[in-house]
Amino acid sequence: MRMRPAAGKRGLLQGRTGMDLETTRACMHAPRSESRSHVHCLPVVYTRALRDTFWHGGSFNMKDLTEEKALEICGRSYEERGLRKLCSWRKKGRQGEAYVIPNQKDPGRWRPIAPAWNAPTKEGAKKVAKALYCMLGCLARSLHFNVTSTEDAINRLAEWNGRLKQSYGVLVASFDVKSMFAELPHEKIRESVKWIITMIQEKGYDQVNVNCRGKRPAMGRKARERHYSVLLKKVREWIEYELGHSFSLAEGEVIQQMRRIPVGGHTSPALACILCTWSEAMFIHDIGTDRERILGMRLMDDVAVFVTFLRKRRTRCVKPVR
């Protein structure tokens, strides 16, 4: 079942969703491993979930502002930070209307979504998101677990498997990163962005050349023809701006996200991957020479870890696993 944003003064579901308030139930299919479906009573359950998430969840603060005033504050800060060099401020842009959707695997949990498809800064956010992914791709693969596709994971596993000796065995663990977007503090996000920018600068780069028409971005020391040059210092300023001005609308009221990555923004997936990559790099650094015995792969929030051990001395595998 897919849900759309709340409709503000016209009601939680009526208006933008096209759903009549007289509709009292909706069916949500369970995962394939389960043979049942979940039924939610609407709009009562949805209203409670919406208010528990935005009013009582602790990650959002209600602001005594109108939408126009919030846009004015964001626009003024946008100009003061000099971000117009990345993209002009869209005067027709508006704050996204936040909504919640039930977790497919756990219908009792609801995920907040703050769409940014009509944000005044959406064009600049697309450029910064591509720049972040390009920076992530420039890091040495031995530093982190991040993979970009299934093919990339297969190639990395085949390369690692080719270096194994017959006297070694392999332990495998797979899991999901829970609350990947929901529990990431802003301070850690800032530190991870600072870390990756420092890593790229040490390679001698100071900008990313981005082509927003689909061509792959590339690191560079000078501008390219028909590309937008995104300076690394502007990337950091953009992230600071987004974290400090993540305003949305919920039930017609202006709210500001104080914790978590702004779910629904163009840069959100890249920021989540960079923070995980930073944590993985710290882990690999801490285990020292044991890093040669570990292969980790992570595709967004799906993680697989491979650990080698000597077949004759299986207890040696305990140290890296912990």
Mean pLDDT over the full length of the chain: 76
Nearest 5°: CA angle at 104, between 102 and 107? 50
Nearest 5°: CA angle at 261, between 255 and 267? 110
Taking CA atoms, 17 is separated from 3, 12, 192, 251, 257, in Å, by 8, 9, 38, 13, 24
Query: Could you tell me what percent of the chain has a pLDDT over 70?
Result: 75
Span of 17-21, 136-140, 282-286 with lowest mean pLDDT: 17-21
Q: In this structure, are residues 14 and 20 in contact, taking their beta carbons and an 8 Å threshold?
A: yes
What pLDDT, in 10s, does the model give residues 159-215? Answer: 888 877 777 788 888 877 766 666 677 888 899 999 999 999 888 888 888 876 666
Angstrom distance (rounded) from CA 243 to CA 258: 8
Angstrom distance (rounded) from CA 68 to CA 62: 15
Angstrom distance (rounded) from CA 270 to CA 128: 9
Element (H, E) at 270: helix 268-286
Angstrom distance (rounded) from CA 49 to CA 99: 10
Tokens of 95: 């704050």
Task: Report the SS3 class of residue 167.
Answer: coil
What pLDDT, in 10s, does the model give residues 70-114? Answer: 888 888 999 888 888 888 888 888 888 888 877 766 667 777 788
Please name the residue that has the structure tokens 């797979």. Answer: 174
Rounded to 5 degrees, what are φ and ψ at 70?
A: -65, -40
pLDDT of residue 197: 92
Name the pTM for this structure. Answer: 0.76
Task: Report the SS3 class of residue 218.
Answer: strand
Span of 19-33, 136-150, 253-267 with lowest mean pLDDT: 19-33
